[in-house]
Amino acid sequence: MLKKGLIILCIFYFSCENEEKTFTISKTDAEIRINKILLDTILISHPNTSFQGFMKFDSSKKEIIYFDELFSTVSRFTLDGKFIESLLGKGDSPKEVQGINNYLKLGNEHLIFKGYSVYHFNENWERTKKTTLNFESEKSFKELENNPKPEDIGIYEVKYFNNDFLMYDMNHIMFNIETTHPKYNGYLSTTSKNYFESAKILGVAELNSGKVTSLQGKYSTIYRNLNNIPNFANWHFDKNNDDIYLNFEADSLIYVYDKSFNPVKGFGRSGKVNNTKYRKTNSYDDAMNLNYSDRQRYGYYYTLKCFPQKSLIFRCYKLGTNQDVENINKDNPDDENPMRMQIYLNEILVGDVPVPNHFKIIGTDGKYFYADGFMNKENGVLGFYRFSL
């Protein structure tokens, strides 16, 4: 067992305007007793799928929901994989949506996100309304164009890649944001340093109106020190009771903030990553040209899932292949990079196990944990995983 230690760090994010705060980062103990998990693969009989989608866990109904991004359908399954029904479809009618990027259940309401659009459905999947995420600013377009500031809501947009949506409270949602403003972005060597020092990373929006009411968070100091690694300037977050847990791809730590986005603490240990000496780029075109190969070559920290009732935190991470992979699946460029998962109990690292490449924990029924997703396009098979600890 490793002895506990403390490091005091000057912090960066979720601070008040222009105010730096300090908080304690714990040197996390490691008591590894879980070296592998036994996965059950539950195959589902889907009547019609494009194999471009994702799964979510409905904790209130104890069922798996599959969202087909291409066909814009929602399909319900029992925890044993039995098909219940398919809903929605692509279109403009009250029983359709124009596409699906993400999903969130808020009480009895189902929310489907497509770009800036938010489709609201009741418990029976009847659409009640459609809203639009609105980054309206009080400043003029000319002022935003010529003199962008990190606190200007109008310069930000919904983050396209690796975006999460989460309930902030019963009236607000929060999600990843970024800006590609010509004078303020993380891609150009002339702007990236300032951007990673001051840019906001989370938007909070009113659920009923879609209006973005506040910008929160900042990038980890890792990005300030390295600069010019926009292909790994991604993050994942989850709520643990009222606290917000946040994980950056290029940072081995997990950061904790209270509901007001005040920094509380940091913890975590490095995984078995092979390569974190990321290639630096100087322009948007450079970054995009290397993005797919970078997502294969390097190791980075990935999805995060908290289960406060069990004092458990799961964090997946990519090992890195140390090579450029040919014939990359551009629909999911992370697929070919092997993955492992850390298991924290009471913020002590108790497990580090290999998991399938598309593995993402989505929920628990108390007995089993469930994860997206087993997919075999060649044989037309779709499924999900379950395991117990």
| Digit-coded pLDDT (tens) for 158-190 | 998 888 999 998 899 999 999 999 999 999 988
- Using the predicted structure, report yes or no on whether residue 87 has a pLDDT greater than 80: yes
* Whether the Cβ atoms of residue 157 and residue 174 lie closer than 8 Å to each other: no
Backbone angles phi, psi at 137, to 5 degrees: -120, 150
- Of 14, 11, 12, 16, residue with least CA distance to 216: 14
Binned at pLDDT 50, 70 and 90, residue 30 comes out as confident
Full strand arrangement of the beta sheet holding 360-364: 40-44, 381-387, 369-376, 360-364
- Using the predicted structure, report yes or no on whether residue 351 has a pLDDT greater than 50: yes
Mean pLDDT of 349-376: 93
Cα 25 to Cα 28: distance, rounded to the nearest angstrom: 9
Mean pLDDT of 70-88: 95
- Using the predicted structure, report yes or no on whether residue 8 has a pLDDT greater than 50: no
pLDDT of residue 1: 33
The SS3 call for residue 173 is: strand
CA dihedral sign of residues 259, 263, 267, 268? positive
Q: Give pLDDT tens digits for 110-169.
A: 999 999 999 999 999 999 999 999 999 989 999 999 999 999 999 999 998 888 999 998
DSSP string over 189-245: TTTHHHHHHH---EEEEETTT-BEEEEE----HHHHHH-S-GGG--EEEEEETTEEE
Mean pLDDT of 326-346: 77
pLDDT of residue 45: 83
Mean pLDDT of 198-226: 93
Residue that wins the pLDDT comparison between 294 and 14: 294
Residue 189 makes CB contacts below 8 A (sequence gap 6+) with 227, 228, 282, 283
Amino acid at residue number 342: Q
Binned at pLDDT 50, 70 and 90, residue 81 comes out as very high
Structure tokens at 326: 């040919």
Identify the burial level of 224 via C-beta atoms within 10 angstroms of its C-beta, where 0-12 means exposed, 13-18 middle and 19 or more buried: middle
pLDDT of residue 29: 84
- Using the predicted structure, report yes or no on whether residue 17 has a pLDDT greater than 60: no
Residue found under tokens 């010529």: 146
Binned at pLDDT 50, 70 and 90, residue 330 comes out as low
Q: What is the mean pLDDT of the chain?
A: 88
Neighbours of 90 (CB within 10 A): 14
- Using the predicted structure, report yes or no on whether residue 12 has a pLDDT greater than 90: no
Identify the burial level of 387 via C-beta atoms within 10 angstroms of its C-beta, where 0-12 means exposed, 13-18 middle and 19 or more buried: middle
